[in-house]
Structure 1
Amino acid sequence: MMETAPYASKPGDSLGRLFGTGPSPTRSEFQRDRDRIIHSTAFRRLQHKTQVFLSHEGRHFRNRLTHTLEVSQIARSIARSLRLDEDLAEAVALSHDLGHTPFGHAGERALHRAMAPFGGFDHNVQALRVVTLLENRYAEHDGLNLTWETLEGILKHNGPLLSASGQPTGRYATEGLPTGLDAIPARADLRLSSFASLEAQAAAVADDIAYNAHDIDDALRAGLLTLEDFLDVPMAGPIVAEVLEGYPGLAPKRQTHEVQRRLITRSVEDVIGTSEANIGKSGVQSAEDVRRAGQPLVGFSPTMAADEQGLKRFLFSRVYRHPEVMQPVRESEAVVEQLFAHYMQTADLPGRWGEAARNASAEVGRARVVADFIAGMTDPYALDEYQRLFDARPDFR
């Protein structure tokens, strides 16, 4: 195996796990994290959770699992080229969506609104709750007992939550920090004002690359757009023009795949070249130096970053807000909101969830149990529950 760079995370230097485990003769600490995530119940549920398009049988749209696997592959490629720890990058990539609700971002928005009186809902914090509290596979402890580095990556792969002066930053600047952070058990302080490892940064940019490529593919597959609609769109337009000119008689499905693979390749190559230069200029010589660098070091070049934002704006206006997408989005939000209201009133939840809701000492405690239960649902299970409770079933087709 290739020797990692000085600034890579070293499994032998890990801050460790909350609950001690003996050494493994065959796997590093980060490999063990990756394997624990893959074998978790929450990971299996991703196959029945929506990405952007609500699931239609036989249409082959991405779900959370296929998206997660694509992110994992891209993150490993970036990590390998930068001589980082591929296993940590993969562990963060595989776990980054474990806190997502059913029905994609629509479900998350609805649950955040429902939880507004009780501190709101944040999918990164929820992912930490899943891997530290809610998974109940092990005899001796709750959660997956992951290393500090993987927990840090799950929470901060998109950047610090606090500025150096201790103020909420990024998307938390307006709403404040998400509630529940103080209830996350970890081996050491997760250091909300520092950047995460380069491996976590690689997973974050891999998420963006995968999103862009597969949302184009799914939008074309759904018939919402044609390849020609992308000709004037930043990032994608020049690639579409190349493919249409080079392969004018090729079947549209194969043209689309050619656009998709070129988009991924060029994005990854841009990230690798830019990140190598950033790392060199920064002078970082250890993973701790990376945390203190004061800026992300893995990412797009300024030109590619601007183009990528232009592509996202186009997808937002023409795909995510398309009437054929918005109608089921509104219905799915209503499903989540009505389920939440019903469970809050009745504590009519199965098994350990109902017991926890009934035993909650305050309304905010019951709300968190209900949010945990709903966030763990798959799309089909949420619809089954809705039908059981309200004798109705939305048809998203």
Structure 2
Amino acid sequence: MEEAKLGLKENAAQFWLLVLINGFVGAMVGLERSVIPEFAESAFGISGHTALLSFIVAFGLAKSLANLMMGRLATRYTRKQLLLTGWLFALPVPWLLLYADSWGWVIFANLLLGLNQGFAWSATVVMKIDLVGERNRGLAMGINEFAGYLAVGLVAFLAGYIASATGEVTYAFVPGIGFSIAGLLLTVFFLRDTHGHVKMEAAQTTIPLLGSIWKDTTWRHANLGSVTLNGFVNNLNDGMLWGLLPVLLVTKGYSLAEIGLLAGIYPVVWGLGQLVTGRLGDIYCKKQLLTLGMLLQGMAVALLLFSGSYAVLVTALVVLGAGTALVYPNFLSVVAENTHPNQRPQSLGIFRFWRDFGYVAGAVAAGLFSDLFGLEAVLLGTALLTIGAGVLSEVRMCCTKKMLWQSKACAPNLC
């Protein structure tokens, strides 16, 4: 058997295969991002926040629990086996959406989609970290998230276009059949497992084992706990926008094609930006990049209060995408650089559990508080919460790389 080597260049073929596979993972969720409100109303007569709330809560709960399960199961099964499990969950999703005769079947489809995203996306993240080692880890995470979220944005636009051009919303789900089959076949026949790379890094690392993976990742560890909270808030505002942005745009008189385009701007900027921001995390202090990213997100959400202007709306979505791009790959690389290789899948699973539970909190908050206080109040509250999370990362976390401004450096046990 060929000896495992760490590094992006040394594992280029498998790394780029994982990038392609993660693009298909992102494409699966992009199918629904822009057309769910229209689908709910035209096919089932369900309008308003109730349909969106049930849809996003089902997806978010399933994905967050799948993240947690994936971390635990990674100690017993190979990464490739867990990725295959994720694709098996994906196969029925487009068929269920195409032939659903009640909203309950749509909810079931999105439970499966959440399980697919939790297992498959987590597996591709962990496998890329295994392959590249410590050097260029931020770049690797940037490329991973770029591929996934660029696919989300492009397929959101594609789904909106198909629905608008054909006049039949369900046709937007047809490409998902090809995405799920392609991802499964690539994984089965071409992808190799990374257990040899894990053993090699574990033998070389000086990172200490965490005393309690759950407690340290959730809050106790200054860097891990802060990143987990910021991840939760990041996805809270994403879940809120996923549910409310299409509704907001409909009330402003935008067409279905325009909504598809606008819904795609944010994830496309988010995806493209990570090619740069992941690499920045290999050079500059990650906590400062997180602080900047969360502040930009907060300001962008506040700008949505002026969404009556198309130019302001586009600007807000671009800024929101840029802010999310700053934080997303660096969340993952902070977790990776603060955990032992043998504990990393569990810690990443716990982080991703809390991060994606933010979808659920955001959807519930959007549905509940928008009815009580209106969309504008929800947007303002979300903006303030996001800015507060960014300030917390600046106060509590420490730096391991070159600083953009004077700040606290990490002690050896936190590096």
Structure of greater relative contact order (alpha carbons < 8 Å, 6+ residues apart): 2
The structure that has the greater radius of gyration is 1
Higher helix share: 2
